[in-house]
Amino acid sequence: MSRILVTGANGQLGKSIQEIAKNAKDLHYIFKSSKELDITDSLQVNSILSYQSFDYCINCAAYTNVENAERNPEVAHRVNALGVANIAHACSKNEVILIHISTDYVFDGRKEGPYTINDPTNPINMYGKSKLKGEEYIQAILKEFFIIRTSWLYSQYGNNFYKTILEKAKEGIDLKITDEQTGCPTKASNLAGFISKLIVAKSEAYGIHHFTDGIAMSWFDFAQKIIDDNGLEGSVHLEKVKNYRTFAQRPKNSVLE
């Protein structure tokens, strides 16, 4: 039976993995929220990985607020880079295979087509830079790891674009959504299923992987799909805008192959 530690277990992906764990055979999951296990505390990380025998660690812990990362880069770096290094060192010491979740934001968005795992990285905001640094630490420290880049994650849990659009549409609030950014929305439960399959298969396809639901669209297109899929076409006005501005720069194209 494989024993699996899941960090950041109260996030979207962590909770989606918890759903899968209910019916998992020959897999024993231990879930730790960010409050229960602070990955920036190397002593905590070393303690749990040294004194409990794990085969895998799925790192879902991350600082994901892109806007706040721009204002507080040191906080993003501490979690997304140094915290990941802590996990990588502990996994190396205890022969644990690390499955780490990364992001489409490691790319600058200037490419016309989908990004492959071999394309050069060039993040344009502090969130992306901190996540890329975490990737680099893993590759320098470990030989057996999976770095899974994903994009536009959504679920019934936490705060995400899907839930926000659905709630506002149900309330009849007019929506102005940009079509200047293109990516691939990814359902967290699908990503959780992919990770589970890697473990069940005892995959040795170590390295960087891209995982999305495979359909590229703009934020406007995604909002329209959410409205249509929930039968709310007549209850809300959706307007396409070009002048959507945020504090942090965001890649115009972050489609992952």
Amino acid at 71: R
pLDDT greater than 90 at residue 247: no
For 30, residues 6+ apart whose C-beta sits below 8 A from its C-beta are: 3, 4, 5, 6, 52, 54
Contact 208, 167 (CB under 8 A): no
pLDDT confidence bin for 243, thresholds 50/70/90: low
Cα–Cα distance between 152 and 105 in angstroms, integer?
A: 10
In angstroms, rounded to a whole number, what is the distance separating the alpha carbons of residues 50 and 24?
A: 24
Q: What does the alpha-carbon distance between residue 196 and residue 192 come to, in Å, rounded to a whole number?
A: 6
Q: Tokens 């039976």 appear where? A: 1
Helix (H, G, I), strand (E, B) or coil at 253: strand
Predicted confidence band of residue 248 (pLDDT cuts 50, 70, 90): confident
Please report how the helices 12-21 and 188-200 are oriented relative to each other, as an axis angle in degrees rounded to 10.
50
Query: Is the predicted pLDDT of residue 250 greater than 90, yes or no?
Result: yes
Q: Tally the residues of the chain.
A: 257
Cβ-proximal residues to 167 (8 Å cutoff; 6+ apart), any chain: none
Share of the chain above pLDDT 70, in %: 99
pLDDT in tens, 13-57: 999 999 999 998 889 999 999 999 999 999 999 999 999 999 999
Our CA dihedral for 110, 213, 238, 179, rounded to 10 degrees, sits at: 10
Is residue 214 packed enough to be buried (19+ CB in 10 Å), middle (13-18) or exposed (0-12)? middle
Q: Are 69 and 63 in contact (CB under 8 A)?
A: yes
Q: How far apart are CA 124 and CA 15, in angstroms?
A: 29
Catalytic (active site) residue 127? yes
- Strand-pairing partners, residue 238, are 175
pLDDT band at residue 235, thresholds of 50, 70 and 90?
confident
- Which residue in the list 115, 127, 137, 162 is annotated as catalytic? 127
pTM: 0.96
pLDDT tens digit string along 83-119?
999 999 999 999 999 999 999 999 999 999 999 999 9
* Phi, psi (degrees; rounded to nearest 5) at 209: -130, 150
Those residues with Cβ within 8 angstroms of residue 79's Cβ, 6 or more apart along the chain or in another chain: 39, 40, 61, 62, 63, 130
Convert the pLDDT of each residue in 75-89 to its tens digit. Answer: 999 999 999 999 999
Mean pLDDT of the chain: 96
C-beta of residue 127 within 8 angstroms of C-beta of residue 70:
yes
Burial label, 15 (beta-carbon count in 10 A; 0-12, 13-18, 19+): buried
